Structure 1
Amino acid sequence: MYRTVDQLDRVVERLVATAPEVCTRLPLPETSRQGRAIAALRLAAPDGPPVDERPGVLLIAGTHARELMNPDLLVELAVDLIAAHRTGADLVLGARTWTGGELRALLGAVSIHLLPCVNPDGRTYVLTVDDMWRKNRRDNPGTACDGVDLNRNADILWGVTEGQTSCTPCTDIYCGPAAFSEPENRNVRHLLDTARIDHFVDVHSFSELVIYPWGHAPNQTTDPAQNFRTLPTGTCRPLGRPGYAEYIAPDDLAEFRRVAGRIVDEIAAVRGRRYSPEPGMTLYPTTGTHSDYAWSRHLSDPALARTYGYTIETGPAGDDAREAFHPRDPEPIKREVESGLLGLLQVAAGGAGADAPSTVTG
């Protein structure tokens, strides 16, 4: 039911062969821990501004190996966009219809970067050995335990063991021996370093959430001096600051809420599932996550452009964790989240209809 890593790669190859004027395969500089080549896909139609001058969006998935539906979701999003580009066909996602004209406009206005499977070694291990494996397949010397949680390994308060982050290799939430120690994560950083990326989404499962910063502490909008740049990193201890709250500028918080709300509305338009928009801390505290890193970059280095970073948690929680991570029927979940991602792309494009679902049927 779920695609293998090779099958995901073949979809990308077919898209590039079918629509080379729109699709560009972007080989990434690092292979996985087990030597697998990794590539991203860029979608940008030629009938628009120069690609490097357009708003850019980076969508990634497969960071956690057992969350199988999300890499499939990203390649299917690419297939649907290319189908609309070539035929002008509308895209019907449950009760939400995206017109061919809307989808073509997105391809002409936005540079869309997709990294469908950040963690190919982990996905292969899930499909062949252990269907609940979460991490990559790093060998951790001196232990019997393998793997790093790639969504705890980024350089944003790395190694601060707040909440669901650990320095213990045998846990599922091991942050690794150093920030960006993992080649799979350095590929994500490479895309952020080399492309204009205005919006970033890391697609995960589960809990029906649209998450925005911050993950390590509650948000506050009044004290700019209380910010992550003043906190120690690599401590392998919690923050140890009772009452600490992380600063976020009021305008930025309003923008995060606006865009998260648009994603939520587009998801709900498909079949009525209402995802919750919330700061990452509301789910549980974390450090070293991709979405917080994407947002933090311009705060750490003002020479960098700002990138609004989100995490989407696809699908509902339930008593059966396996069913939540890789459901027997992922199609309704993939359709609704595809609509949410199209809403984000429309926001990035800044075009007409960027504030509400524009075509609803049924």
Structure 2
Amino acid sequence: MTSCLPNFIYQWIDFVARDYSFVTKFQVGVTSQGRPIYGLSIANGVGTAQKKVIYVDALIHCREWITTATTIWTFKEMLTKSEYSSMLDDYDWYFIPMINIDGYVHTWNGNRLWRKTLSATATSSCTGVDGNRNWDVNWGGDGASPRPCDLTYHGPFPHSEPEVRHLSYFIMENKDQIQVLLSVHSYSQLLLYPYNYDLITIADNDVQLHNISKAVCEAMYAVHQKTYTYGRGAETIYVASGVTMDWAHEAANIPISYTYELRDTGEYGFLLPADQIIPNGEEFLAGLVVLVQEAQNPVASGYRPNEA
């Protein structure tokens, strides 16, 4: 039974693509074990022919179940409730709810806290690569391990993992349309922006990223009074090289790029109870409403001062 778990997500994708004429199912690629990675393209035809896109992905770390559950709940709300129709009018969307599908199956069948992919390692008996250390931006730098048995193993070379490689192709093919990229993780209640790979490099639109994240976190707090901390990734969580967000901003030139870390702050961690899916989704959606509004404001260039 558990070997069919991704089918529930596949079925949801099929249902949405069937029920909404402006939603299209697409395949990004396949995992190392051959499972398809599907996404949804949401384009309602309102607005300009070259409407900008917001890209959202989840579950590159397979133990972070809440990321897929929260983002699916969020898009369900956006599609079914008229109060969110402007979000679909202002932007088109790409949504990839499950990246590390092999690992997700493993978290059900073997190790609930498995993090990495399940690719074979030629030089070690240890399996898998940390997909969020495998991107070709400062690959192999601080915060990523060269040791195959470590949780943060960066892989034998950049984009060695098919999950990462196929996503990079897809993002690059659509980079001129994608204005916002959101990679959703858990846990810690954080909203991070570039750069994660060192404490020195600062994004050219640092002020814009700072201002948007401040507004988003305030909106998230207003829902259930859960505090989300925001800031440059290296300062706010830790230095980590080869992450999605940094690659999207630096290599694909996507101006607004964030990593979300959803609930909680450690009480349950990766084992967040199911009764927190909807409250977490309500926070995420409230922040997303504000992000859509703020992203349309003129770009504020320059750098903010370091803050205590």
Task: Tell me the TM-score normalised to structure 2 length.
Answer: 0.89
Match of 1:345 in 2: 292
* 1: CA distance, partners of 2:35 / 2:203: 38
1:69 aligns to 2:50 (yes or no): no
Cα root mean square deviation, aligned: 1.9
Match of 1:223 in 2: none
Match of 2:156 in 1: 177
- Spell out the pairing of 1:129-278 with structure 2 (5 A cutoff): 129-160=110-141, 162=142, 164-195=143-174, 196-218=177-199, 245-249=200-204, 252-278=205-231
* 2: CA distance, partners of 1:310 / 1:326: 23
2:264 to 316, 333, 337: 316
Shift, 1:349, TM fit = 5.0
* 1: CA distance, partners of 2:254 / 2:63: 31
* 1: CA distance, partners of 2:232 / 2:99: 23
Shift, 1:342, TM fit = 2.9
Name the SS for the 2:17 alignment partner.
helix
1:288 to 211, 223, 242: 242
Shift, 1:191, TM fit = 2.6
Letter in 1 for 2:129: V
Q: Structure 1 residues 285, 5: closer, same or farther in 2, change over 3 A?
A: same
Letter in 2 for 1:152: R
Match of 2:270 in 1: 325
**Pairs aligned (count):** 291
> Once the two structures are superposed, what CA deviation does each residue of 1:182-216 show, in whole Å capped at 9, x if it has no partner?
11012221231122111111111111110011112
| Contact 2:74/2:282, CA 8 A, preserved across alignment | no
* 1: CA distance, partners of 2:193 / 2:69: 23
| Contact 2:70/2:280, CA 8 A, preserved across alignment | no
| Contact 2:197/2:246, CA 8 A, preserved across alignment | no
Unaligned runs of 5+ in 1: 89-99, 219-244, 299-304, 352-362
Match of 1:5 in 2: 6
Larger-gyration structure (1/2): 1
Name the SS for the 1:181 alignment partner.
coil
> Once the two structures are superposed, what CA deviation does each residue of 1:222-255 show, in whole Å capped at 9, x if it has no partner?
xxxxxxxxxxxxxxxxxxxxxxx22433xx1100
Letter in 2 for 1:293: W
* 2: CA distance, partners of 1:4 / 1:343: 33
Match of 1:15 in 2: 16
Match of 2:254 in 1: 306
Unaligned runs of 5+ in 2: 299-308
1:335 aligns to 2:282 (yes or no): yes
Letter in 2 for 1:209: L
Q: Structure 1 residues 268, 66: closer, same or farther in 2, change over 3 A?
A: same
> Once the two structures are superposed, what CA deviation does each residue of 1:283-304 show, in whole Å capped at 9, x if it has no partner?
1111000001111125xxxxxx
After TM superposition, which residue ranges in structure 1, 4 or more long, deviate above 6 angstroms?
none
> Once the two structures are superposed, what CA deviation does each residue of 1:329-356 show, in whole Å capped at 9, x if it has no partner?
32222321222223223334559xxxxx
Name the SS for the 2:60 alignment partner.
coil
* 1: CA distance, partners of 2:271 / 2:7: 19
* 2: CA distance, partners of 1:141 / 1:63: 22
Task: Tell me the TM-score normalised to structure 1 length.
Answer: 0.77
